[in-house]
Amino acid sequence: MARSGRFLDEGRFADYLELYAEDGRYQLEAHAAEIGRDMVWLSLNRAELAELFREWPLHVRDEAVRTHLANLEEVTLARADAAANALSTFAVFRTDETGRSELYCVGRYEDELEAVAGAWKLRRRRARLITRLLVTPTPLPL
């Protein structure tokens, strides 16, 4: 789980994609208390994630450095050890060009994993944000 944040922080998008199963999916969402339901901000399969990473240099983007911290809280094995569910809490810090760091967002990863050729792959990652007001929006996964 921690590697996924490091790969995003370092711009190692191909390595990040390798964490996903072929039919893997990423979803970024937050609960909107004022409307009483979840908002989906980003929902992409692996091929769509790859396209996003290819197009990322064309986006107007925040040049600050991001640092992910993740804490794996729980893993539950399922389907005769060929699948698992994991719950992690994460925080992302943002360091601007002056060297000032601040908390960017916090949330939870709800992951569904499957064993593929001796490695665990993400079948689905739900990144559920607790923070809803981001200083600078990002087109990248968190």
For CA atoms 134, 130, 94, 126, the dihedral sign is negative
Tell me the pLDDT tens digit for each residue of 7-16.
999 999 999 9
Q: Give domain limits for the chain.
A: 2-129
Strands (E) located in the chain: 20-32, 37-45, 65-78, 83-95, 101-116, 119-129
CATH class, 2-129 region: alpha beta
pLDDT the model gives residue 108: 97
- DSSP, collapsed to helix, strand or coil, labels residue 78 as strand
**Residues 99, 29, 96, CA angle at the centre, nearest 5°?**
5
Q: What is the mean pLDDT of residues 70-74?
A: 95
d(CA 107, CA 93): 12
Q: What is the pLDDT of residues 29-60, one digit of tens each?
A: 999 888 889 999 999 999 999 999 999 888 87
Residue 79, pLDDT score: 72
Q: What is the pLDDT of residue 57?
A: 85
Give tens-digit pLDDT for 81-122.
789 999 999 999 999 999 999 999 999 999 999 999 989 999
- pLDDT at site 141: 92
Structure tokens at 2: 């921690």
Q: Are 97 and 72 in contact (CB under 8 A)?
A: no
Using CA atoms, how far apart are residues 111 and 76, in angstroms rounded to an integer? 10
Specify the pLDDT at position 62.
83
